[in-house]
Amino acid sequence: MGSDAGAVGRYRPPSLFHRPATVLVVLGIACVVLGGLVAAVTDPLDLESGSWAAAYLVLVGGVAQVAMGAARIVLHPRAVGPVPGGQDGVAAGPVRDGWVQVAAWNGGNVGVIVGTLVDVPAIVAVASVPLVVALVIALRAAGTGARAVDDVGRSGRGPSDRTAHAPSDPGGGPPGHAAVPPLVDLGYRTILLVLAVSIPIGIVLSIVRDA
């Protein structure tokens, strides 16, 4: 009985699984709107770094964040399956990682923008660390496959029970994994790679600009 209670504690209700993804999408859209507003007032207010800040908000804070949020829904396995006690649940790890991704990406972006506007490369460098963390989580979320469903299956039920409870893949893939065209998956991973490469480039540019 005690072991079942401990196992149940490692899972979360299915409704919690997509909440971090929803927050990523909402914050991303907000950044796009904010970037547009910054662009609109850059010339009238003669903001020195206004164009850069607007582009950063739209592309990195906005478009990239919306893509990461959508990917957590589309590319990440729908890891819903039976857990001890007869209820369905989601492994706690993906839910926790999602919230870490939200905090790391948005906190890092705020730091990069502030560091750039005040011309302090050290702030930009430190703020880049959580950005890397968020990108690693995003890459893991895109590549875990059906692992989370397998974890749910370790609740003690047999393979047939896991298959019966896990959502099927209309594309013929393993239960619990979304059917995603290879080009879409490749395109998303390419976006993550470009973002990862841009981080050290941004740090170097901030140092050069300060010098």
pLDDT, tens digit, 9 for 90 and up, residues 147-192: 444 444 444 443 334 443 444 444 444 444 446 688 888 999 999 9
- pLDDT score recorded for residue 13: 62
Amino acid at 91: A
Closest listed residue to residue 148, CA positions, set 89, 104, 68: 89
pLDDT, tens digit, 9 for 90 and up, residues 33-52: 999 999 999 999 999 999 99
Q: What b-and-e string marks burial along 15-52, b requiring 16 or more CB atoms within 10 Å of the CB?
A: ebbbebbebbbebbeebbebbeebbeebeeeebeebee
Confidence of residue 14 (pLDDT cuts 50, 70, 90): low
pLDDT, tens digit, 9 for 90 and up, residues 105-123: 999 999 999 999 999 999 9
Amino acid at 121: P
Q: Are 57 and 29 in contact (CB under 8 A)?
A: no
Structural Rg of the chain based on CA atoms: 20
- 11 against 165, higher pLDDT: 11
pLDDT, tens digit, 9 for 90 and up, residues 68-104: 999 888 766 554 445 555 455 566 677 889 999 999 9
How far, in Å, CA of 87 to CA of 159, rounded?
A: 16
pTM of the predicted model over 0.85:
no
- For tokens 């972006």, the residue is 109
Structure tokens at 7: 């196992």
- pLDDT score recorded for residue 65: 97
- pLDDT score recorded for residue 170: 43
- pLDDT score recorded for residue 95: 80
Confidence of residue 54 (pLDDT cuts 50, 70, 90): very high
Q: Where are the domains of the chain?
A: 2-210
- pLDDT score recorded for residue 106: 98
Confidence of residue 144 (pLDDT cuts 50, 70, 90): low
- pLDDT score recorded for residue 164: 39
For residue 172, what are the CA distances in angstroms to 18, 59, 78?
23, 34, 14
How far, in Å, CA of 54 to CA of 157, rounded?
A: 52
Q: Are 32 and 62 in contact (CB under 8 A)?
A: yes
- pLDDT score recorded for residue 76: 61
